[in-house]
Amino acid sequence: MNQKRLIVGMSGASGAPYALVLLEECLRQGHEVHLVVTEAAWRVLKEEHGWDVSRREKQFEERFGHLPGRLVWHPLRDIGASIASGSFRTDGMVIIPCSMGTLAKVAAGLSTNLLERTADVMLKERRPLVIVPRETPLSQIHLENMLKLARCGATIVPAMPAFYHRPRSVDDMVRFVAGKVLDLLSVDHALYRRWEGGQ
């Protein structure tokens, strides 16, 4: 298996389960994952999963520490981290979920924290950047920012589950979205049943 070095950013939009499923699959396969979590994303983890956010990275260690992959934790304010430089080679980045605030800052080229700086690096180095926005309805500002990023080379993957694979649970729908992101990062998986044509 071709081992990859990937970056996962979590920002403060509802949808933490998408990120956790994606992290678990990447680490289960033995990939190296660099993780950045915004302050608002910690709040989402508390609300959606009941995490004790005072323990921060230890929560990730307890959930994923038994898996063979390598999880590298980066504080949000560490602008000198390895992933902040284009000379640090990676296979791509995903921001999952991506808030409209984070999306706007990346679209504007702002780098006020490590997550935004790393996304900027992906764009300038022309490496895969997948953005999973989680908001509804979308305003014209949101749509214009997504279009701007798409024109700059990012791939926009709204958190929209499909139903042709006949999901039986919320977990099935979460796995579908995570799987679509992994497809774009060229990570093999079996998170959902693929369409093989109707009869």
Residue pLDDT, tens place only, 158-193: 999 999 999 999 999 999 999 999 999 999 999 999
Does pLDDT of 56 surpass 90? no
The arithmetic mean of pLDDT across residues 82-97, rounded, is: 98
Question: In which region does residue 166 sit, left (phi positive, over 0), alpha (psi from -120 to 50) or beta (all else)?
Answer: left
Question: In which region does residue 87 sit, left (phi positive, over 0), alpha (psi from -120 to 50) or beta (all else)?
Answer: alpha
What secondary structure letter does DSSP report for 54?
A: G
Determine the pLDDT at residue 57: 86
CB 12 within 8 A of CB 38: yes
Confidence of residue 12 (pLDDT cuts 50, 70, 90): very high
CB 95 within 8 A of CB 16: no
Does pLDDT of 115 surpass 90? yes
Cα diameter, the chain: 55
Determine the pLDDT at residue 198: 66
Determine the pLDDT at residue 137: 97
Taking the C-alpha atoms of residue 37 and residue 46, their distance in angstroms, rounded to an integer, is: 13
The arithmetic mean of pLDDT across residues 9-19, rounded, is: 97
Does pLDDT of 1 surpass 70? no
Does pLDDT of 197 surpass 90? no
State the chain's mean pLDDT as an integer: 96
Determine the pLDDT at residue 107: 98
The domains of the chain, with CATH numbers, are 5-184 (3.40.50.1950)
Percent of the chain having pLDDT more than 90?
92
Kindly state the helix (H) or strand (E) to which residue 130 belongs, with its residue range. Answer: strand 129-133
Peptide bond preceding 75 in cis form (omega within 30 of 0) = no
The arithmetic mean of pLDDT across residues 15-26, rounded, is: 98
Taking the C-alpha atoms of residue 41 and residue 96, their distance in angstroms, rounded to an integer, is: 10
Kindly report the pTM of this predicted structure: 0.96
Whole-angstrom Cα Rg for the chain: 16
Residue pLDDT, tens place only, 122-154: 999 999 999 999 999 999 999 999 999 999 999
What's the Cα-to-Cα distance from 14 to each of 2, 5, 48, 135, 152, rounded to whole Å? 32, 26, 8, 8, 25
156 closest CA partner among 167, 170, 142? 142
Does pLDDT of 199 surpass 60? no
